[in-house]
Amino acid sequence: MCNCCTTVPVTSKFPQAPNELMQKCPSLAKLSDDTKLSEIAKTVTSNYTSYHECSIKLDAWIEWYGIQKQIYESVK
C-alpha cells in the first residue's frame, strides 16, 4: 500500500509585476496662454527629456517582462 501515491497537479502562474512598473508615463507639462517664449523652450525641452527617458525605461521593462513570461510558460 502506498500512502503518497495520489498525484496532484501543481500549476503555478507567472508572478504579476508590481503595478508601479506597469504604469504608463506621466502626462507632460502644459503651458498657459500667456507663457513667455523662454519658458516654452524650457518646458518643451523638459517634456522631451521626460518622455524619452520614461518611454525607454517602460518599453525595456515591458519587453523584458514579456520575454520572461514566455520563457516561464514554455518550460511547463
Q: Which residues of 35-44 are buried (b: 16+ CB within 10 A; e: fewer)?
A: eeeeeeeeee
| pLDDT bracket for residue 2 (50, 70, 90) | low
pLDDT on residue 47: 94
Which domain covers residue 56, as residue numbers? 38-76
Decide if 62 is inside a domain.
Answer: yes
Domain count, the chain: 1
pLDDT digits (tens, 9 = 90+) for 26-67: 788 999 889 898 899 999 999 999 989 888 888 888 898 889
pLDDT score of 30? 92
Q: Whole-angstrom Cα distance, residue 71 to residue 65?
A: 10
| Inside any domain, residue 68 | yes
| Model pLDDT, residue 43 | 94
